[in-house]
């Protein structure tokens, strides 16, 4: 059984690229927020948010890799 992959350059690929870019932007924003929160009571929460953002970036990268290469 083959599920196939959407064509590179198609709507699914474009969406995956946009979602990865958005996740990277969010990670960058949260990285700055975590740096700003160092030494404050919100430091742990900011670090957690940044960690989750990294997970989202990894997931988006994996999806895009699968679309482009099939693995």
Q: Per-residue pLDDT tens for 44-58?
A: 999 999 999 999 999
Give the helix ranges, DSSP H, for the chain: 11-37, 43-69
pLDDT score of 33 more than 50: yes
The answer to whether position 5 is within a domain reads: no
Q: Is residue 6 part of a domain?
A: no
Residues 6+ apart with CB under 8 A from 65: 71
Q: Is residue 52 part of a domain?
A: yes
Residue 40, judged by CB atoms within 10 A of its CB (0-12, 13-18, 19+), counts as: exposed
Whether the pLDDT of residue 7 is over 80: the answer is: no
Any domain includes 2: no
Give me the pLDDT at residue 1, please: 47
The overall longest dimension of the chain from CA atoms, in Å, is 54
Q: Using CA atoms, how far apart are residues 66 and 18, in angstroms rounded to an integer? A: 15
Quick check: is 53 in a domain? yes
What is the domain count for the chain? 1
Residue whose tokens read 């989750």 = 52
Model confidence, pTM = 0.83
Tell whether 56 is covered by a domain: yes
Q: Does residue 42 lie within any of the structural domains?
A: yes
Domain with 55, as residue range(s), is 11-69
């Amino acid at each position: 059984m083959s599920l196939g992959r959407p064509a590179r350059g198609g709507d699914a690929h474009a969406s995956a690229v946009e979602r990865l870019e958005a996740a990277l932007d969010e990670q960058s924003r949260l990285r700055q927020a975590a740096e700003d929160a160092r030494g404050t009571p919100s430091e742990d929460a900011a670090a957690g948010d940044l960690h989750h953002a990294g997970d989202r970036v990894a997931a988006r990268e994996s999806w895009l890799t699968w679309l482009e290469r099939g693995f």
